[in-house]
Structure 1
Amino acid sequence: MNPAVWLIGAGPGDPELLTLKAVKALGRADVVLVDDLVDPRILQYCPRARIVRVGKRGGCRSTPQAFIQRLMLRYARQGLRVARLKGGDPCIFGRGGEEARWLDERGVSCEVINGITAGLAAATAVGIPLTHRGLATGVTLVTAHTQDGGMPDWSALARGGTTLVVYMGVARLQDMRAELLAAGMDAGTPVAMIENASLPGQRDCASTVAAMARDADAFRLRSPAVLVIGQVAACRMFAAPEVPAFPEHDLRRSA
């Protein structure tokens, strides 16, 4: 397959978590449309491409989605190989499905290259297994930032019995706390809050459902951050290692 557009997941930040397929596609791209949450070190793998920054971050001024789609279409129709580079995975809260369908409806071929989603990487980075026999037999990935500005059905999520991994929830911690407690979730249910997962500035804070808003405020939790809610949040596989800085990332030398 020789797609006109690649929708590429850059993973949570650490360049070493890129897939080989992503590195190869970036090396072939003529134009790369880059989201805000993509670590700048990843751009070393697209040295021949024109870099177009199309940032989208909650609470900040963002590039309109319709404009990004028109850019991809324009470059593709010019015969250029286009890479749309997103943090995490394109199809987990990354609008990859919307973009792929939109391009397909206009006759533009597209390929999705998966990336490690932030929820998985954040949990593992601090030693949390998202599933664990006797504690959690499933995982629910949920965003607290919906398209219409509403809230997920926290009552249904609280009753589900799975580990909850919450994206884009920092600004709504107080509402989440109230909804989960009202739904009957135990106030002492463990919560882990992980900021800048896999990056040198990674930090995490252990809390509970009852105390998470207060603890996050004291910790000065900032986006991007992931919340892990459930019994596994207190089940650490190992002491979380210090996240190193890698100023000299070059996967090409180690391939």
Structure 2
Amino acid sequence: MNSERSLSETSSGFVALVGAGPGHPGLLTLRGQECLQECDVVLYDGLSNVEMLVHAPQAVHQSVGKHGQSRIWKQDEIIAEMLRHAQAGRHVVRLKGGDPAVFARTSEEVNALKAEGIPFEIVPGITAALAAGSYAGIPITHRGIASAVALVTGHEEPGKAKSDLDWPALARFPGTLVIYMGVTTAKQWTEALIAGGKDPKTPCAILRRCSLPDQQKIQCRLDEVAGHLTPASQFRPPVITIVGEVTGLAESMDWFSRRPLSGKRVLVTRPRDQAQALARPLEELGANVIVQPAIEIAPPDDWSDVDAAIEQIDSFDSLVFSSRNGVKFFLDRLWEQGRDLRCLGGLKIAVVGDATAAVLAASHLRADWIPETFDADALLETLLQVQPSLRSTLIVRTQRGRDVVADGLRSLGTNVCEVVAYQNRDVPEMDPITRAKLNEQPLDWVTLTSPATARNVHRWLGESIGDTKVAVISPLTAEAVHELGWRVDAIASSATMQSLTQAILDAETT
């Protein structure tokens, strides 16, 4: 079904029923992303990955049910809420796990929209049965093994006098069966298939949280499925069960569980807007990453020192940035004060490392000096080599940290002005959801990217860190970790997220 007009072409209420795919946020379609970017409200269900909401920062995000975290809305309540927003002239995205046309009750929502004359669009998503072929190594069709596939619900509408499913016919089906929503009813449908003539020894694969880092797979016989799913707490939804000979190919086609960090749980503690630079490469290596910022980045409480330095910018011959955040906050403030890059034309610029230089380059500024190793000591050594030409230096920094560069330049006669362009503050408490995840299953790794981060994470975890390994960004951070009484298991060779990732990988594979 197609919409009568697109989300961006109507000023009246509009609803896009968007398939979120099987779970991995990268499997959202481009059209789905566009709809999220344009909407006013997102109504998302429990099977939709909340990471996708990053595409809709302008919208109201409303959960319509997630097991264990919020109440589960009834279908008529969801429809009523969808209509309420659309009738108020809002653009609504109804974000649904998988594909809207596969066991998602989309027809009920469409009927309600049509009855009210509200235009809509349906955006397909990847359903779990199809994702299984890529993420579990199970092609649901295969020449010579299975030339057909049937998608079957294991949980029909409650209150039916009799099942609409012809289980004997499904038992004879010459291909692959994929059972959706069949956890609590596993005993009934497996027995129905066997009673209908299906061989009890038929190979099966039970797949949970397909495409996500904590994806689980159990391979067994048909007559063993119920034992793995009962009670449901053993293997909680979302789960699909694949019944057929194709499941025997899982071992030969599996790539997902063979990645070097597969199954490893890693805590990333960087500020939220910087976490993906570390989380993404770890996830690509198979790690199950939990993002829990230990510090947050914010503007200074008082801009007066920065503003005064900007007013006197012509009095400096050099400018030093000790971090990428310093670049961003200082240049933003420069613009807000009515200035632009032209006022920096006479200054030489030094940065602490390549990541900071990259942020500078994004604003079309080149760094004149970058140390070979990325820390304050190396930056000072680099500057000391050109020190006679540095008469007056402006250092842009955060409110805490060592004064290595400033003190070193002052000792040799350079006039140094330090300004705090941003502050990093400890996050007081770990998010309850993160804490619950840690209580449910221990971590394999904790990543620490500064002494301040190390101290705050130590305050959270203390002795409860147990056997969890610690990876740090630099020798300075390692020193802080040792002072706190923790051991260090991996140290990045340089202060980059790539090096930190490699340090963890080396520790796991050597």
Mark yes or no: TM-score above 0.5. yes
AA of the residue aligned to 2:227: R
Pairing of 1:191-230 with structure 2 (within 5 A): 191-217=204-230, 220-230=234-244
The residue number in structure 2 matching 1:48 is 58
AA of the residue aligned to 2:100: P
Q: Which of 87, 93, 104 is equivalent to 2:97?
A: 87
The residue number in structure 2 matching 1:241 is 256
1:197-233 alpha-carbon deviations (Å, 9 max, x no partner): 1111111000111222224459932211110001111
- Classify 1:69/1:171 alpha carbon distance in 2 versus 1 (closer, same or farther; 3 Å): same
Q: State how far apart, in whole Å, the 1-side matches of 2:118 and 2:254 are.
A: 47
The residue number in structure 2 matching 1:168 is 181
Name stretches of at least 5 consecutive residues in structure 1 with no aligned partner: 251-255
Q: State how far apart, in whole Å, the 2-side matches of 1:199 and 1:121 are.
A: 11
AA of the residue aligned to 1:170: V
How many residue pairs match? The answer is 249
- Classify 1:56/1:66 alpha carbon distance in 2 versus 1 (closer, same or farther; 3 Å): farther
Corresponding residue SS for 1:55: coil
1:138 matched to 2:148: yes
Corresponding residue SS for 1:164: strand
Identity of aligned residues (%): 40
AA of the residue aligned to 1:41: E
Q: State how far apart, in whole Å, the 2-side matches of 1:148 and 1:25 are.
A: 33
Name stretches of at least 5 consecutive residues in structure 2 with no aligned partner: 8-13, 269-274, 281-510
1:120-151 alpha-carbon deviations (Å, 9 max, x no partner): 11343110111011111111111111113554
Q: Judge which range, 98-107 or 141-150, deviates more.
A: 141-150
Q: State how far apart, in whole Å, the 2-side matches of 1:110 and 1:199 are.
A: 30
The residue number in structure 2 matching 1:253 is none
Q: Which of 99, 103, 123 is equivalent to 1:113?
A: 123
Q: State how far apart, in whole Å, the 2-side matches of 1:176 and 1:124 are.
A: 26
Q: Which of 89, 97, 100 is equivalent to 2:107?
A: 97
- Classify 1:240/1:216 alpha carbon distance in 2 versus 1 (closer, same or farther; 3 Å): farther
Contact 1:205 1:216 (C-alpha < 8 Å) held by counterparts: no
1:2 matched to 2:6: yes
- Classify 1:149/1:192 alpha carbon distance in 2 versus 1 (closer, same or farther; 3 Å): farther
1:158-212 alpha-carbon deviations (Å, 9 max, x no partner): 1122211111111111112211111111111110000111111111000111222
Q: Judge which range, 118-127 or 150-159, deviates more.
A: 150-159
Q: State how far apart, in whole Å, the 2-side matches of 1:143 and 1:197 are.
A: 17
- Classify 1:173/1:230 alpha carbon distance in 2 versus 1 (closer, same or farther; 3 Å): same
Q: State how far apart, in whole Å, the 2-side matches of 1:106 and 1:217 are.
A: 43
AA of the residue aligned to 1:113: V
Contact 1:9 1:22 (C-alpha < 8 Å) held by counterparts: yes
Q: State how far apart, in whole Å, the 1-side matches of 2:56 and 2:146 are.
A: 40
Contact 1:123 1:228 (C-alpha < 8 Å) held by counterparts: no
Q: Judge which range, 208-217 or 105-114, deviates more.
A: 208-217
Corresponding residue SS for 1:211: helix
Corresponding residue SS for 2:247: helix
Contact 2:136 2:256 (C-alpha < 8 Å) held by counterparts: yes
Corresponding residue SS for 2:190: helix
Corresponding residue SS for 1:188: coil
Q: Which of 185, 191, 197 is equivalent to 1:178?
A: 191
The residue number in structure 2 matching 1:17 is 27
Q: State how far apart, in whole Å, the 1-side matches of 2:35 and 2:245 are.
A: 39
TM-score normalised by length of structure 2: 0.46
Instruction: Give 1:154 deviation, angstroms.
Output: 1.9
Instruction: Give 1:73 deviation, angstroms.
Output: 1.3
Corresponding residue SS for 2:83: helix
Contact 2:181 2:240 (C-alpha < 8 Å) held by counterparts: yes
Corresponding residue SS for 1:112: strand
Contact 2:132 2:139 (C-alpha < 8 Å) held by counterparts: no
AA of the residue aligned to 1:40: V
Q: Judge which range, 188-197 or 114-123, deviates more.
A: 114-123
AA of the residue aligned to 2:58: R
Q: State how far apart, in whole Å, the 2-side matches of 1:173 and 1:149 are.
A: 18
Contact 2:184 2:229 (C-alpha < 8 Å) held by counterparts: no
1:65 matched to 2:75: yes
Q: State how far apart, in whole Å, the 2-side matches of 1:80 and 1:30 are.
A: 6
Q: Judge which range, 171-180 or 23-32, deviates more.
A: 171-180
Corresponding residue SS for 1:68: helix
Q: Judge which range, 148-157 or 213-222, deviates more.
A: 213-222
Q: State how far apart, in whole Å, the 2-side matches of 1:222 and 1:199 are.
A: 14
Contact 2:187 2:226 (C-alpha < 8 Å) held by counterparts: yes
